[in-house]
């Protein structure tokens, strides 16, 4: 049996995927706007958590290698946090890192 792995279509960055999937234009626009808002909201949350971790590192005058040991991650991962590389982390991972340094995260729904 042969598996077909040919790429037939590539969606361009910034394109409305919902429109390409065949949704009606109005619905595609609505879905696209909702998804972009969710992506942005998640990015902002990650940035906030990363600022907390970076602030803790600065506050304790830690080298990234020392912070990595305490956070139980690699030194490059600490660098990614300090440099706000949000795409490289899930919210769960950042929450776990904050928990390891005694900064539990509280979620408020409002």
Domain count, the chain: 1
- The answer to whether position 87 is within a domain reads yes
The model's pTM: 0.82
- pLDDT (tens digit, 0 to 9) for every residue of the chain, 110 residues total? 788 888 878 888 888 999 989 999 999 999 999 999 999 999 999 999 999 999 999 999 999 999 999 999 999 999 999 999 999 999 999 999 999 999 999 988 88
Instruction: Give the integer Cα–Cα distance in Å for 63 and 18.
Output: 45
CATH code at 47? 1.10.260.40
């Amino acid at each position: 049996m042969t598996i077909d792995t040919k790429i037939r279509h590539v969606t361009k960055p910034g394109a409305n995927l919902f429109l390409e999937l065949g949704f009606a234009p109005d619905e595609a626009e609505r879905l696209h706007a909702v998804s972009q808002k969710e992506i942005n909201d998640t990015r902002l949350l990650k940035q906030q958590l990363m600022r907390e971790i970076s602030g803790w590192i600065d506050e304790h005058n830690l080298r990234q290698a020392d912070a990595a040991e305490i956070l139980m991650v690699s030194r490059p991962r600490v660098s990614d946090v300090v440099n706000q590389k949000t795409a490289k982390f899930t919210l769960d991972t950042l929450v776990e890192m904050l928990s390891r340094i005694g900064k539990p995260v509280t979620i408020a729904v409002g």
